[in-house]
Structure 1
């Protein structure tokens, strides 16, 4: 094969009109809700992809490591999903900053940008699904993306947004599992494609049309209808990254949430699968961060506060905890028990009904 043909194959081909109006994207953009205002608060979560510790390296922690000369060339994290042991290996993006090559791991800003783009992809004439590849992506302008981020309380400059897009397009994530029945191996950049079409030139053109193609695991989930509608606006309103991760985790795992039904998770599980507590030197500090995140979820209407009695005293708490004490009389682990709010329970039931509706519609269309 000639190099000329290779270059032609790699050249970006904008999606066709049909890709914006096909069965898969129509289902993806269909929510079960009462009115348009409620629809505007919804997006879709992808259980496997959203439960992986993809954004565990903060920009601040990375800068400290760079100064100390301890910045990792690869980030290796072990986690679990539905009982399967999964290993992920993240390679940072290498970007040219005014002649200096700098490495960036995807962090909080990149996660917010991805979530905002996934929301934009649920809008008509923005999300597309190309059956011939297959590929799933979104068409947008930087102005539109910045407007969406600002609307959700996460204002970013033009340069900050473009930097995050480049980091997501250059950082690669390798996902593998040795499970005999459900083997996984996938290696790709977070965004499998980032392209722009601009008449005025790339530099700060507010009308330039950008295209992002999401990770192949998201494309596979679109095809299999392995996604769940959830309250995106509420998730984006949480102030901490850990609270947002826990929200998505509950959306993915607590699928039969009913008022009064409990859900249990361990501190060790949260630490392992979120990857967000490694920066705390002691478990005690990490446990405090988890408590604060649960409090945030309760204050924002995700969890039902619990009234606990301690002798004559009473206190309201977002969870019950069972401390596991080790041989040295130290807390080795904590089992947290939480209860869904009426709002979260209602949203979970509606998400279940929507999944069933979409799958029935998909089967009927075949």
Structure 2
């Protein structure tokens, strides 16, 4: 029998499809003409930035469409659901889906700002990145401050600038930092490297979490054709996409960053949770058997740090729910992934009721609502 909910779930992963005009009129004259802008060519919309043309890939805007219509082909703004790019329409879709609040990731800037971090002109990249954070705050988040969870991006190429922009993002009201799950793919130190300690100091002081979305490293590495290797079926890419956070979580556990920063909290986004049980078990086994010859830098078993500081979300993960106590019910959260092709919209609440039918009501509420309220510091009951 399905579980009936008397509250609305919170989605810890959704996406804005930025509309034309995000950067219009917001930059100094020396940058304005080179800011991201939309052009129309051959009856298709493209974002253009530093000579690159970036379409809105179909799989990113499939919310509300039948599976038979799914496509990787580019889609024009006029053919998208308005909730993809309009905050008022998004709120209506959230109401249709029974969702209380939504954590927002960017699209054109890259889910962790990688487009601007790879800019040839770093001064231009910085101003475009800052402008995105401003736009997110004064368009989407200001529309519904307790329903839209703003997640800032920062200039990763300069640690001092990253700290400065993070602190500015906090002043704008953003509730989390979106950080690439694989900064090494951008030619930067990995997520556990001491290089990032000044940023983590600032994050700890602010008390906000860090989100690591799958495939949020290099745009050149992650915006792949679906044939990931010669002759490989497209389904392979779609199947293994969540695995891009496996190494990221393991790096958090082993690098010592969680020892150095005991108040940091990281969220593995859209990677699912079923694999976490084995990963943590294996990591503890490695600690017992191998830490002496590897000269492990951590002071406790990896499971200790995971329980304290690592969190993960999921869309529809029966295996993960079955082992939820092994993972830790305090460490897992729900997501909708609107408007991407894996989204649970418009059946999210119905899915929760069905999948959680054997989960006690208090645990269900923790996983689909209360954990997110605590994690993001939301002013919701």
Give me the TM-score of the superposition, normalised by structure 1: 0.26
Q: Provide TM-score, normalisation by structure 2.
A: 0.25
Q: Which has the larger radius of gyration?
A: 1
More strand by share: 1
Which is helix-richer, 1 or 2? 2
